[in-house]
Amino acid sequence: MHFTTWIKIAAGAAAVAASVPAMADRTADAYPDKPIRIIVPYTPAGFNDAMARVFARKLQESWRQPVIVENKPGAGTIIGTEQGARAEPDGYTLVVVGFPLVANQFLYKKLPYDSVKDFAPVILGARSPNLLVVSATSSIRSVQDLVAEARRRPGKLNYATAGNGTSNHLTMEYFKSVAGIDLTQVPYKGSAPMVTDLLGGQVDVMFDNMPHVLPHVRAGKMRALGITGAKRSPLAPDLPTIAEQGYPGFEVAVWYGLAAPAKTPPAILDKLNRELNRILATDEVRKIFADQGVEPLGGSLEDFSAYFKEQSQRWSKVVHDAKVSLE
């Protein structure tokens, strides 16, 4: 994988604009002069969809052009992501990207697109840590309890996932490797049935996105053992990180961004990035994100490229070490 490709694309936005300022200015000034679409490779639920709709509404207000959200779920995000990759690189098609764009390149032997070469970064919109949770009736009360019980009964504790290769599956594989424990996976078709069975005692433990489980923790139906962020969350300030419970450096975040087809004009990428950063800085949008348990980010094209490279290096190792593969 050529991890430098995104960085070159991002850096090229400034370089091309500087080398041909008149052309770049004309391209950016004319954009947008027709409707923009944002492809969401998920069903109309969850934060991926919510972020796209916030961005669509705000871009439409700013630029007085329709911005249409199209949900294209299926095949672990591959169907919608491929449509984004194959779209005309003119700035009028964007695609919501996240953890699967990184992970799928290592999980599948063959994809209908190249996660690096076929996309240009637009903005890293937000991220959210996972929570490590058990039922409120569980005897496990801490990360240390979980590790001790797993070592006492190797392979006997089970953990829920939303399927092979999903973020909660690979997060647990990552934790198993650093903690030196053996747990048995129980895959589900999404987060909702995972939550139901954890609450009912059919599974012992799981990692899941903060927006999915924090309400159950607050309601006293689940017990959170730790958070996968680099620091404690203001939404749960009393909950320690996994890192501070004996596993320094353990950090996982589910992230949400926008990308464009490769070869989208750098001046347009830059204009989109500037406007989306402005939107993310508003109090209204920051509150919308915070209410759903996610941290608004933003930053430059280069920032997104660097983050993508770091994530690729991390999850390449986890997938390889865990011997996870998908057809």
Determine the Cα–Cα distance for residues 164 and 148; give it in Å rounded to an integer: 25
Q: Enumerate the CATH 3.40.190.10 domain ranges in the chain, comma separated.
A: 129-245
Q: Give phi and psi for 164, each to the nearest 5.
A: -60, 135
pLDDT at position 5, please? 57
Q: Is the peptide bond before 41 cis (omega within 30 degrees of 0)?
A: no
Q: Can you list the residues of the chain whose pLDDT is less than 50?
A: 1
The CATH architecture one would assign to domain 129-245 is 3-Layer(aba) Sandwich (3.40)
pLDDT at position 3, please? 52
pLDDT at position 25, please? 60
Q: Give phi and psi for 219, each to the nearest 5.
A: -80, -5
Q: Give phi and psi for 135, each to the nearest 5.
A: -65, 150
The encoded tokens of residue 287 equal: 């509150």
| Distances 274 to 17, 53, 92, 208 between C-alpha atoms, Å | 14, 18, 16, 32
The CATH architecture one would assign to domain 4-128+254-322 is 3-Layer(aba) Sandwich (3.40)
Mean residue pLDDT of the chain comes to 91
SS3 of residue 243 by DSSP: helix
Token match 């490769």: residue? 262
> Measuring CA to CA, which residue among 127, 128, 46 is closest to residue 304?
127
Looking at the chain, which runs of residues are DSSP E strands? 36-40, 67-71, 93-98, 119-135, 158-161, 184-187, 205-209, 222-227, 253-261, 295-296
pLDDT at position 11, please? 57
Pairing state between β 184-187 and 119-135? unpaired
Q: Is 236:217 a contact under the CB 8 Å cutoff? A: yes
The encoded tokens of residue 311 equal: 């994530």
Q: Is 202:187 a contact under the CB 8 Å cutoff? A: no
Please, what is the end-to-end C-alpha distance for the chain in angstroms? 19
pLDDT at position 122, please? 98
pLDDT at position 2, please? 55
pLDDT at position 325, please? 84
> Measuring CA to CA, which residue among 164, 153, 49 is closest to residue 106?
164
Contacts of 202 (CB under 8 A, 6+ apart): 186
In the chain, what's the furthest Cα-to-Cα distance? 69
Q: Is 270:17 a contact under the CB 8 Å cutoff? A: yes
Q: Enumerate the CATH 3.40.190.150 domain ranges in the chain, comma separated.
A: 4-128+254-322
> Measuring CA to CA, which residue among 1, 2, 21, 57 is closest to residue 266?
21
pLDDT at position 6, please? 60
Determine the Cα–Cα distance for residues 323 and 305; give it in Å rounded to an integer: 27
CB atoms within 10 A of CB 91: 22
Contacts of 219 (CB under 8 A, 6+ apart): none
